[in-house]
Structure 1
């Protein structure tokens, strides 16, 4: 009986996957368990796939091993490969393509979606199109890339921003082709991962003519306080991150979580408390 149960559990662990959106699922099936006297280390696949057409990523995941850890009860390491496989799929399914309107900006914000705002870091915009309200269509040209180094996260993004006049959406005012590099600080706030992004470099063209970005600090404020909250809300509508433990054991409470960024992976360590699942 016990052998049958263990065999069944082993089969389930080798085929674990979870749907996170209409067209996206993550395969986190068990690959390489290692059992020692005081720990169990489980290697999970961690690759995102299109539910309509399962295609393997263009490259294989690099091997990495965890340094010995014994401060917390539970650790999970997420590789750059896993994050980038998600970015690739979200790009291909156009999830990153969104339309941003001024009514999506918090009403208390002094920064509005207008040519005046954009003119603060690209003067040609306000000079050519003074004091006009905008709608923006944001598209990724290719998938974003995350690079993880010791205590350092780098995000590379190629995007196109098409601006139209808000009361005349057939009137395209300008098109920005942007190449951005940002550093990202990762932390845990109230049990959730939090990200603080700082633009390090941005260059591009407007209507196919190169331009120089002025006042990059102001642009960082706009991205952090306006653009990224809108993108986060947009992504949250269609994405439902899977519960790795809760659906099997009951409610899981994390205690004193810590985040470390290491070479090629992010390590999250935490103590955990289980609440018995009393549902039948």
Structure 2
């Protein structure tokens, strides 16, 4: 039972808006798999399981008080029927085991006045039945919480066989031990189960509800309300928003409402368009979306160099004022990038400004003009095994002169060069990486089985089965 509950929790493991940015759903199929894993682990670990010693005294008519101890107890055999698991609507997860039997062997000792005796014993428990409702909710920090909402447990019968030399005390002592064990088991089973479930709380509190992706951005995914529990699945609605570590700002848009409908896989996870865009907002807020381009960074095969002579065809006035001098470009985001999810397609737009400088012989930087740039891409994303693959194409490039120290000039020819550079240099590198595939993040002991990625209107969904390796 304990192991099964642990596996169940491992499998289900995911200004606040009313809609989630990240949503996860586990289905009955996941519970059935958790049941199999839990039963398998129980088969491995229940055999030889040690049981705490029991000491006490009992009154046996007509002898009076007899002190006893039961020690060295361990499970030597057991029969574990297949558990029943399911969702209890608006409550939690129900777990039932019926007809379990356990065989235990140990050592007994007794003392009656000056008489002492000892031996071994065998205890057989029959018809062990347990029915538990595990309540599932969330706390104020967005962590998952569980509780024993209801429990019913009983032992139908048991047998005790003592092996020893106290013949005259044998039968009454055996009967007393049997009655005592029967009452204790029926009385303590549910408190033991509740204690175990309550003991999971510190473990759940240790599960992170935020992940620092890199030094600049953190992804936060606390539950925004208790899980929604239906008759065939459980839904976890999480915040799912990226933040700048140094310059925390709330994303100014509420996530779009979306719903995961996949019931064929154990687990499905959906990320909203707004959640994805909050990443661009976070990076833009952090001020890290910029790069300084120098001539040494331009591929040697490029006919266009970052010097005033090479730019004569674009800006005729430039080499006249600054003949044969190197240039550099500070390229930075002017607003957050925008991502759009449409059926089977992802569109990304990047907005930036390019501030162009001439490097004087004394290394002084002289600003000469500023360009506004907008680039749009489309991407197709797929799953290949356990890797994210796909391809990217260029939709459009627009270039406009924002300001100039050299007077006005046309930017169309420069725009064509940038477009050609993206086609010839940028896209081949990006598509080569996408073709090789990007491995999905690994989770210890849990691997994905036949994952499927689907881009929908306003959100992207990953549906998968899982495999647990202890």
Q: Identify whether the pair has TM-score above 0.5, normalized to the shorter chain.
A: yes
Partner deviation per Cα, 1:26-85 (whole Å, 9 max, x = no partner): 111123523455543322210122344644322222221112341x44322111111111
| CA drift at 1:149 | 1.3
User: Matches of 2:358 and 2:428 in 1, distance apart?
Assistant: 22
- 1:204 equivalent to 2:399? Answer yes
Paired residues of 1:115 and 1:126 also in contact (CA < 8 A): no
CA distance in 2, matches of 1:81, 1:205: 28
Residue aligned with 1:21, SS: coil
2:314 corresponds, among 124, 143, 158, to 124
8 Å contact kept, 1:154–1:182:
yes
Normalising by structure 2, we get a TM-score of 0.45
Check conservation: 2:255, 2:273, Cα contact below 8 A.
Answer: no
1:74 aligns with 2:267: yes
Question: Structure 2 residue aligned with 1:218, among 413, 417, 420?
Answer: 420
State how far apart, in whole Å, the 1-side matches of 2:365 and 2:466 are. Answer: 54
Tell me the distance in 1 between the aligned counterparts of 2:390 and 2:368. Answer: 32
Query: Hey, what's the Cα distance between the residues in 2 that align with 1:173 and 1:191?
Result: 49
Note the alpha carbon deviations across 1:168-203, whole angstroms, 9 max, x for none. 572445432112222222234674434633221222
Structure 2, unaligned stretches of length 5 or more? 1-194, 432-439
- Kindly indicate which of the two structures has a greater share of residues assigned to strand: 2
Which residues in structure 2 correspond to 1:222-241 (within 5 Å)? 222-225=425-428
149-158 vs 4-13, greater mean Cα deviation: 4-13
CA RMSD of aligned residues (A): 3.8
Count of aligned pairs between the two proteins: 252
| Cα displacement (A) at 1:103 | 4.7
Larger mean Cα displacement after TM superposition, 170-179 or 151-160: 170-179
Cα distance change of structure 1 residues 187 and 9 upon mapping to structure 2, 3 Å threshold:
same
In structure 2, relative to structure 1, the CA distance for the partners of 1:5 and 1:104 (3 Å cut) is farther
Q: CA separation in 2, counterparts of 1:269 and 1:251?
A: 19
Residues of 2 paired with 1:170 and 1:182: CA distance?
33
Aligned counterpart for 2:375 among listed residues 180, 194, 210: 180
TM-score of the aligned structures, taking structure 1 as reference length:
0.71
Q: What does 1:107-146 correspond to in 2, within 5 Å?
A: 110-111=301-302, 114-115=305-306, 124=314, 135-146=328-339
